[in-house]
């Protein structure tokens, strides 16, 4: 176990940022802390690094009690959201900083420092930029300098705060893949914070979904996406239709009987059914109960707005399927639900 | 030979007036007005100071500067500045560090207090010290019994000068440090730097230009301060007169050449300050911009 968080609580005045959080980060894994802003994910990351101290709870880093340790003694690499590169230092100086500030006895020779920095710049593909200043680099380059700088101290754990938050969409995607590959190569235990579910699902070995200072669910990307543990996780991960319903005898009735969904039991009375857009089937039917109110083509996929007796639904399918069905806006249709999850209200 | 058409003489472009440029007469009026104003209120007085100081010739000027009382005043001014500027340098860095990097109760009160010397008349600042440390003041009897003299002596001058000049460094640094935030310091700490290493290797390099500005302005004011110093000085010639006070005494004695000669030194101080400031901006403009953004 690389990191063990037990019962960590942190309050800022009246606001509870973390409410008795337990979490285990396994050695060598890439873990995502996913949640909306204010869910406590960044606070948890900063507590791991020693930049905040919790009001209660315990923290073990590689089996050692860490809360009493200063940030400098924790051997963690931290990549800040806005990189926090030293603006008056060149790329080389930035990466070398962690080695140069070591006490005399542990400090590598300057030749050794040069060799290590060159190696790291090679790793992050920035060798030609060693002499540049942060202001002369693009966002993606700064991000990689920040990563090289964090790795220079050979940390046991790498912590990244919204590592792609400040980048534009294309660079973000490239850098994401690159980071995944880097992690597969060097296998350093890593935790990153994000509010972008796509990022978490694509990049992480395991995802921790957080909300209001608590952990809602921990699991592999497939687990949290396919089997959300709570209504919050369902809503937060991906697009979803949220349907108020009443469950009677295992059947959820939506919109005054316009739609019936079979449930796996357990829930009775007022409830909410969650249906992913791609789990909502559409069949053209001349006298059907629903009407296609709009079709939006986004790249290879199509998003279909459906009006079911005043209830707005959203379906999703690929364009081929759309062409096969041959539906256009204004057509009548019937809808069926392939898969739904019902939570008591 | 298609190249010929390119190397031929260039065709003069017709004058194009951009949407943002004003007609000629407006430009002349605006620029001329500004220049006239500058000449009248800034340049003319400066020229007048030097003209008056030198109008009996350079020997008279030199004598006025080298007579013992003038030398004593110059020395005293340098001593007062040499103590109060470093004191305010330390204070300014400490205060802006507190304000910019930490959140605490009473922060706004501290910022207001830092501004106090700007809003209080310097004469009042001087009087406060007289009320505190003067013979009839709060600590007066105690200080007399201990044999310490503050008012009408160098310590009083230093105290008054520190009070009047203490906002300069802090005012320059607080916005700068607030804008820079504490991300870089946090990064340094996580990378293994001690607090001391973080301060010297990260914080100070990021604020050095702002710091230098603040110190320059602080020094100019410390040497030129009149009001507060006047109250606590006692005007003892050769002992507690700083340059501005010396100028006043000479002027009141109708010794215009000597008064303007000493005044010209103060004017030169102002010019040197400006030149250094401009030179720094010119020489390190890029770096300056980099640390501000």
Q: What is the pLDDT of residue B3?
A: 42
- The interface pTM score, or ipTM, of the predicted complex is 0.83
Are A104 and A225 in the same domain? yes
Residue A320 tokens read as: 């081929």
Say if CB A170 and CB A138 are below 8 A apart: no
Residues 6+ apart with CB under 8 A from A148: A95, A117, A120, A121, A123, A124, A126
Three-state DSSP class for B284?
Answer: coil
A327 touches chain B (CB under 8 A): no
Domains of chain B and CATH, by start = 58-291 (1.10.3720.10)
Are A229 and A271 in the same domain? no
Cβ–Cβ below 8 Å for A77 and B190: yes
Cα separation, B68 vs B237, in Å, equals 10
Q: What is the pLDDT of residue A251?
A: 85
Using CB atoms, pick whichever of A71, A87, A101 lies closest to residue B290: A87
Are A262 and A167 in the same domain? no
Are A165 and A192 in the same domain? yes
Domain boundary among A220, A235, A250: A235
Pick B293 or A165 by higher pLDDT: A165
What confidence tens digit (pLDDT) does each residue in B228-275 have?
Answer: 999 988 888 888 899 999 999 999 999 988 999 999 999 998 888 888
Q: What is the pLDDT of residue B2?
A: 44
Residues 6+ apart with CB under 8 A from A328: A292, A295
**Burial track B198-210 (b if 16+ CB lie within 10 A, e otherwise):** beebbbebbbebb
Cβ–Cβ below 8 Å for A72 and B192: yes
A-chain CB neighbours of B191 within 8 Å are 72, 97-98, 101, 149-150, 152-153
What is the per-residue DSSP string for A66-109?
Answer: -TTS-GGGS-EEEE-TT----TTS-HHHHHHHHHHTS-GGGPPP
Identify the closest residue of chain A to B183 by CA–CA distance. A84
Residue A114 CA: distances (Å) to CA of A99, A182, B75: 10, 22, 51
B-chain CB neighbours of A88 within 8 Å are 205-206, 287, 290-291
Q: What is the pLDDT of residue A221?
A: 95
Cα separation, B133 vs B146, in Å, equals 12
Q: What is the pLDDT of residue B13?
A: 60
Are A246 and A230 in the same domain? no
Q: What is the pTM of this model?
A: 0.79
Provide the CATH number for the domain around residue A29. Answer: 3.40.50.300
Using DSSP bridges, classify how beta strands A189-194 and A30-34 pair: parallel, antiparallel or unpaired: parallel
Tell me the residue length of chain B: 293
Are A219 and A299 in the same domain? no
What confidence tens digit (pLDDT) does each residue in B148-160 have?
Answer: 888 888 899 999 9
What confidence tens digit (pLDDT) does each residue in A305-327 have?
Answer: 999 888 889 999 998 888 888 88
What confidence tens digit (pLDDT) does each residue in B181-212 have?
Answer: 889 999 999 999 999 999 999 999 999 888 98
Residues 6+ apart with CB under 8 A from B277: B213, B216
Domain of A99, in residue numbers: 3-235
Using DSSP bridges, classify how beta strands A56-61 and A3-12 pair: parallel, antiparallel or unpaired: antiparallel
A166 touches chain B (CB under 8 A): no
Mean pLDDT of B101-123: 89
Nearest 10 degrees: Cα torsion A208, A211, A214, A216:
-50
Say if CB B245 and CB B160 are below 8 A apart: no
Say if CB A302 and CB A268 are below 8 A apart: no
Mutate to test the interface with A, among B191, B286, B287 (most CBs of A within 10 A): B191
What confidence tens digit (pLDDT) does each residue in B30-49 have?
Answer: 999 999 999 999 899 999 99
Are A215 and A263 in the same domain? no
Cβ–Cβ below 8 Å for B206 and A88: yes
What confidence tens digit (pLDDT) does each residue in A113-127 have?
Answer: 999 999 999 999 999
B-chain CB neighbours of A78 within 8 Å are 186-187, 190
Residue A165 tokens read as: 């938050």
Are A66 and A21 in the same domain? yes
What is the per-residue DSSP string for B216-282?
Answer: HHHHHHHHH--HHHHHHH---TTTT--HHHHHHHHHHTT-HHHHHHHHHHHHHHHHHHHHHHHHHHH
Pick B261 or A288 by higher pLDDT: B261
Residue B6 has pLDDT above 60, yes or no: no
What is the per-residue DSSP string for A265-306?
Answer: SS--EEEEEEE-GGGEEEEE-TT-SEEEEEEEEETTEEEEEE
Provide the CATH number for the domain around residue A255. Answer: 2.40.50.140
A-chain CB neighbours of B210 within 8 Å are none
Are A168 and A264 in the same domain? no
Domain boundary among A235, A264, A294: A235
Mean pLDDT of A280-295: 88
Using CB atoms, pick whichever of A72, A88, A150 lies closest to residue B291: A88
Mean pLDDT of A203-226: 94
Are A322 and A185 in the same domain? no
Mean pLDDT of B4-25: 63
Are A37 and A72 in the same domain? yes
Are A229 and A255 in the same domain? no
- What values do phi and psi take at A66, rounded to 5? -115, -15
């Amino acid at each position: 176990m690389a990191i063990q968080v037990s019962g960590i609580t942190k309050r800022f005045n009246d606001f509870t940022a973390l409410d008795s959080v337990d979490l285990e980060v396994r050695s060598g894994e890439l873990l995502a802390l996913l949640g909306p802003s204010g869910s406590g994910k960044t606070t948890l990351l900063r507590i791991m690094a020693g930049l905040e101290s919790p009001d209660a709870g315990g923290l073990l880093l590689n089996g050692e009690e860490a809360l009493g340790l200063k940030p400098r003694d924790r051997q963690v690499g931290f990549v800040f959201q806005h990189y926090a590169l030293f603006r008056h230092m060149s790329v080389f100086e930035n990466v070398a900083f962690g080695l140069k500030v070591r006490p005399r006895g542990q400090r590598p020779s300057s030749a050794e420092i040069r060799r290590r920095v060159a190696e790291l710049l090679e790793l992050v593909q920035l060798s030609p930029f060693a002499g540049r200043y942060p202001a002369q680099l693009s966002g993606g380059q700064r991000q990689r300098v920040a990563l090289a700088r964090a790795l220079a101290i050979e940390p046991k754990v790498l912590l990244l705060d919204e590592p792609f938050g400040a980048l534009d969409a294309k660079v973000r995607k490239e850098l994401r893949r690159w980071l995944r590959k880097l992690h597969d190569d060097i296998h350093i235990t890593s935790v990153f914070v994000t509010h972008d579910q796509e990022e978490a699902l694509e990049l992480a070995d395991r995802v921790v979904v957080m909300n209001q200072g608590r952990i809602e669910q921990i699991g592999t990307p497939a687990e949290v996406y396919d089997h959300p543990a709570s209504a919050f996780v369902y809503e937060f991960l991906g697009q979803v239709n949220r349907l108020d319903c009443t469950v009677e005898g295992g059947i959820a009735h939506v919109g005054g009987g316009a739609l019936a969904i079979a449930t796996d039991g357990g829930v009775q009375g007022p409830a909410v059914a969650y249906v992913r857009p791609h789990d909502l089937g559409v069949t053209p039917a001349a006298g059907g109960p629903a009407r296609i109110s709009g079709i939006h083509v986004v790249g290879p996929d199509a998003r279909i707005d459906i009006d079911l007796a005043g209830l707005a639904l959203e379906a999703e399918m690929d364009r081929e399927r759309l062409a096969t069905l041959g539906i256009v806006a204004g057509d009548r249709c019937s809808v069926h639900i392939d898969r739904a999850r019902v939570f008591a209200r | 030979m298609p190249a010929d058409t390119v190397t031929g003489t260039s065709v003069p472009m017709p004058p194009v007036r951009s949407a943002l440029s004003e007609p000629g007469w407006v430009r002349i009026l605006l620029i001329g007005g500004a220049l006239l104003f500058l000449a009248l209120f800034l340049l003319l007085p400066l020229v007048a100071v030097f003209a008056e100081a030198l109008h009996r010739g350079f020997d008279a000027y030199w004598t006025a500067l080298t007579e013992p009382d003038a030398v004593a005043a110059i020395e005293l001014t340098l001593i007062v500045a040499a103590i109060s500027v470093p004191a305010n340098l330390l204070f300014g860095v400490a205060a802006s560090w507190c304000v910019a990097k930490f959140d605490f109760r009473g922060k706004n009160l501290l910022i207001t207090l830092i501004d106090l010397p700007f809003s209080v008349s310097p004469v009042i600042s001087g009087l406060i010290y007289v009320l505190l440390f003067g013979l009839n003041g709060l600590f007066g009897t105690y200080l007399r019994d201990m044999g310490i003299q503050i008012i009408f002596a160098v310590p009083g001058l230093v105290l008054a000068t520190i009070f009047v000049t203490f906002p300069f460094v802090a005012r320059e640094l607080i916005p700068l440090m607030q804008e820079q935030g504490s991300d870089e310091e946090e990064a340094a700490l996580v990378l293994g730097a001690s607090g001391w290493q973080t301060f010297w290797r990260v914080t100070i390099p990021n604020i050095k230009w702002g710091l230098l500005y603040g110190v320059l302005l602080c020094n100019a004011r410390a040497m030129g301060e009149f009001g507060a110093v006047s109250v606590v000085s006692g005007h003892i010639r050769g002992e507690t007169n700083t340059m501005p006070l010396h100028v006043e005494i000479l002027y009141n004695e109708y010794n215009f050449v000597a008064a303007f000669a000493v005044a010209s030194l103060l004017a030169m101080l102002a010019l040197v300050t400006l030149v250094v400031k401009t030179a720094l901006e010119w020489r390190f403009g890029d770096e300056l911009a980099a640390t501000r953004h």
